[in-house]
Amino acid sequence: MLHDSAHVPKPSLTEILFGLFLRLVSASCFWFALNYWAMLIGFSHGGAGRFDLLTPEWRAAATALAVVYPVAALGLWLLVSWGPVVWVVAAAIEIAMYEFYPVSFGHRPMLVVLHVAVAVTFILFRAALFYQRFRQARQVRVDSP
């Protein structure tokens, strides 16, 4: 007796670990989003980071990141293709803030290192998945009845 449904291959260990990695990055994006929102509404920094008390540079950057980070978190959690793209936008904004404009935003080298490490890990996972799919495509299959 034949199965009525199509055969769905099991995900490899690399695919499972990549999904867990994206969900971990998603949780950190959500944490960053909460921090920016807490700052903007005056809940953190003793109220000194409230939106109406910020400089124009901080208003623009914090508002953009408070919107972009939750979107990136959602996209990464759902494992959709636009999630990493939105994360790259958020990471690029923060890297630009802290590396190219340290007079306005301060200097946070560990945050920059964190973003670079996540980007390198993402690239390594994608390369491993590409290699796996390349090897699977080269294998000889007998699919005819």
Q: Which two tokens stand for residue 79?
A: 């494992």
| Entry pTM | 0.84
Q: Could you report the per-residue pLDDT of 58-101, keeping only the tens digit for each?
A: 999 999 999 999 999 999 999 999 999 999 999 999 999 999 99
Written as one string, the DSSP assignment of 69-99 is HHHHHHHHHTT-THHHHHHHHHHHHHHIIII
Quote the pLDDT of residue 64: 96
Q: Give per-residue pLDDT as tens, 106-135.
A: 999 999 999 999 999 999 999 999 999 888
Q: Give the Cβ contact number of residue 6 at 10 Å.
A: 5
Q: Which tokens go with 101?
A: 């404009």
Q: Are 111 and 98 in contact (CB under 8 A)?
A: yes
